[in-house]
Homo-oligomer: A and B are copies of this chain.
Amino acid sequence: MSHEGHHVVALVGSLRAGSMHRVLFNAAVELAPPGMIITESPAIGDLPHYNADIDLDPYPAPVLALDAALHAADGVLFISPEYNYSVPGVLKNAIDWASRARPKSALRRKPSAVMGGSIGISGSMRMQYHLRQMLVFNDSPAMVQPEVILPKMQDRIVDGRLSDAPTRELVAKHLAAFDQWIARFKTP
């Protein structure tokens, strides 16, 4: 399956500077297959809390930036921890804005994939199935397998780098599959 390259926007669900999910994002950038470029979305921490009373003429600047980035992307990659057995509020808020930025969501028909991990045993899986349900609303086809669910993520990181070889292999496999997944949805 040849193509001219896919541009993927990543939404990172943690705002912490030293977040393990930022480490995972960095690994994803490195491990993307040839032709796939992954860049981070405009800062989701700058978005106001979604409120339908907010004047959208013009859009608040961070909403406009998020919408433009999503609109230009070939696919969207969610890289997120699990908070309270679900999606972090700040990431959910970004999805709330994305879904209203255009008449039928900036995520519409935009292929998506999900990665995440945890310090404990869940590996973020409870977050991932909630996120998948949100993507159904947005008509965003979310890639199925292979899932990237990483329990005890801290044991996979050394000196701020995703160092565990099987984890790196899984991330690479996930991104190669995502590249193919995006291609499937590019045909008319």
Contact = CB atoms under 8 A, between A and B. Distances in A.
A145 B133 CA distance: 12
Contacts of A49: 15, 44-45, 89-90, 93
Interface stretch (A66-74, A120-128, A153-161): A120-128
A135 B18 CA distance: 28
Oligomer: number of copies: 4
B84 A93 contact: no
A187 B188 contact: no
A84 B15 contact: no
A115 B149 CA distance: 22
Interface in A126-162: 126, 129-130, 132-141, 144-145, 147, 149, 151
Interface residues of A, number: 54
A86 interface: yes
A138 B84 contact: yes
A188 to B, nearest CB: 7
Contact of A92 (B89, B132, B138, B149): B89
A87 B182 CA distance: 28
A188 B95 CA distance: 32
A102 interface: no
Contacts of A51: 15-16, 45, 90
A155 to B, nearest CB: 13
